[in-house]
Each structure stands twice: as C-alpha cells, then as structure tokens.
Amino acid sequence: MSVHKESKRITTHTLHEMKSKKEKIAMLTAYDYSTALILDEAGIDVLLVGDSASNVMAGHETTLPITLDQMIYHASAVVRAVKRALVVVDLPFGSYQGNSKEALQSSIRIMKESGAHAVKLEGGAEVKESIERIISAGVPVMGHLGLTPQSIYKFGTYTVRAKEQAEATKLIEDAKVLQQAGCFALVLEKIPASLAKLVAKELTIPVIGIGAGADVDGQVLVVNDLLGLTKGFKPRFLRQYLNLFEEINGAVKSYIKDVKTLDFPNEKEQY
C-alpha cells in the first residue's frame, strides 16, 4: 500500500514517511518540460534537475561548466510540467563552494526563479555551514556523497568511491554530519553496496542510491541513460529500459527517405 494518494503532491515529509514504511523512493533526472510531463504522469516520486544536464543536454565532458542561470532555465521548464513529484535542483559548481552566503543566495535564486521545491549540493562536513544557512531560510536541502562529479578533477576518475576503509569511514561521518545539519535526504553515488546499506541503516533520513546497491531507501538514474539516449554509456549499475538512440535514429532515417522519395507529405498531410 502506497503512503501517498495518487494525486497528492510528494513532499520531503512524504519521503520520510516512505522510508519509515519501507516504501522505496523512485527518482529520475529531468531537464525539460516534455520529458518531465511524462515522468510525472508515470508516477515518479522525485525529479532531479541534475547538473548532469551539462553532460546530456549541453554535451560537456563534465558537470563543471553549467551555470546557475542555465540550471534555473532547465528547472523552470520541469516545474511547469509537474503536478505531483518533488522537484529538486542541483546547485551547480561554483555557486555554493565559496561561502555559506553565496550558497544561500544561489538557493534563493533557484527557488524564486524556477519554483522548485528543494536544492541538492555535493560534499560533506565542508558544506555543513552552507546547508544550515540554506535550511534556515526555509529551503530543503538534499546531500550527495560518494562519487561527487563536481570533484572529478580531484578524483581523476569516475570509478567506485570509498572502497578503502579510510574513505568509507569518512563517508559515514559525513553522512551523519549532513543529517545533523538538516538535510532531508541523501544521494549516495557509486559506492560499495555494503557501505550504502550501512549508511541507510544508520540514518533516519532517506538514502537514495545510484550505483549503490539495493539496500537503500530509493534509486535514482539519469533519465537519458535509462531511455538509452546516451550512446555507449553502459555502466554496471545502469538498467537501460529502452534504446531510444536506435529508435529515433530509425525514425529519422525513415523521415529522410520519405522526404527524398516524395512520399511525405501525401495528399492527406496537406491543406
């Protein structure tokens, strides 16, 4: 039995209730109106306007180049489509690391200009003060630990994080700091399943995994990966439900052929 009525809006409180009732949370990224409309109608619980937009929407190699203005543009489009899901927006690289005042100003811009419901930021103890300041202004914050793509040049690779004991211990401590600071939920990216299970058990806030195994409170994927729009990206944690790259490629080839052979438009397709 679901803890929320079909038509009722998902809030941070609903997610807490879902954790306590052991109902898994389904989260996906979204960057545009049309896709968000489909995902919301399908019943997704949380939509993340991820800074992965930098990769899948703009074609950048990393998440670092995307700006606050660009995130607000994507977020506004998603918010306009959504009737039920909780919309969380990534604070982009460079919009919160400077100091807590900057973090608060960036969060306020996102909330005011996009109409989103919460923000997400990467990091542990080093962003505690920023999280507290954002929350004190009434803005819910989701944390993100493990593989944090905004630090890719520090890591040097996108491989699994926290396999060694020292990094695992630090991650557990950071997770507790984030909960203590007031985060309403936490994303764990690409870490051993046993470690994610431990964190989800220790924390009272929902823990949402991506490449973090099944024993967490919910799952998130980049929607373009799930739909097979991103060619050649097949990490072990990804379940690809469609191959839209091939589907769209085939449809466009048919269109080109129909145009060239004068098959399109036919008599019924004109005025």
51 binds ligand KIV (CB under 6 A): yes
224 binds ligand KIV (CB under 6 A): no
- Least separation in angstroms between residue 210's CB and ligand KIV is 5
- Least separation in angstroms between residue 63's CB and ligand KIV is 6
Q: Kindly indicate which of the ranges 7-15, 44-52, 195-203, 238-246 contains the residues binding ligand KIV, using the contact rule CB under 6 A.
A: 44-52
189 is catalytic: yes
187 binds ligand KIV (CB under 6 A): yes
40 binds ligand KIV (CB under 6 A): no
90 binds ligand KIV (CB under 6 A): yes
52 binds ligand KIV (CB under 6 A): yes
Whether 43 contacts 84, CB under 8 Å: yes
What's the burial of 4, exposed, middle or buried (CB within 10 Å: 0-12/13-18/19+)?
middle
Q: Which of 86, 87, 91, 210 binds ligand KIV (CB under 6 A)?
A: 210
- Spot the catalytic one: 17, 132, 189, 202: 189
The pair of three-digit structure tokens given for residue 156, joined into one six-digit string: 């040097």
Pairwise CA distance, residues 59 & 193, whole Å: 30
Q: Whats the size of the chain, residue-wise?
A: 271
Select 48 or 110, whichever has its Cβ closest to ligand KIV.
48
Select 214 or 259, whichever has its Cβ closest to ligand KIV.
214
Paired strand residues for 220:
27
- Kindly give, in sequence order, each residue whose CB lies less than 8 Å from that of residue 189, ignoring residues fewer than 6 positions away: 144, 145, 146, 147, 148, 149, 161, 209, 210, 211, 212
Pairwise CA distance, residues 112 & 89, whole Å: 12
220 binds ligand KIV (CB under 6 A): yes
Q: Cis peptide before 265, with omega less than 30 degrees from 0?
A: yes
The pair of three-digit structure tokens given for residue 26, joined into one six-digit string: 């389904």
50 binds ligand KIV (CB under 6 A): yes
Whether 226 contacts 34, CB under 8 Å: no
The pair of three-digit structure tokens given for residue 1, joined into one six-digit string: 């039995």
- Least separation in angstroms between residue 6's CB and ligand KIV is 25
Select 10 or 56, whichever has its Cβ closest to ligand KIV.
56
Chain-centre distance for alpha carbon 39: 13
- Least separation in angstroms between residue 265's CB and ligand KIV is 39
Residue 10: DSSP 8-state = P
171 binds ligand KIV (CB under 6 A): no
The pair of three-digit structure tokens given for residue 195, joined into one six-digit string: 């470690």
- Least separation in angstroms between residue 7's CB and ligand KIV is 27
The pair of three-digit structure tokens given for residue 3, joined into one six-digit string: 């803890």
Select 29 or 130, whichever has its Cβ closest to ligand KIV.
29
Pairwise CA distance, residues 210 & 25, whole Å: 12
Select 92 or 166, whichever has its Cβ closest to ligand KIV.
92
225 binds ligand KIV (CB under 6 A): no
Catalytic residue numbers read 189
Q: Which residues bind ligand KIV (CB under 6 A)?
A: 29, 48, 50-52, 90, 187, 189, 210, 220, 222
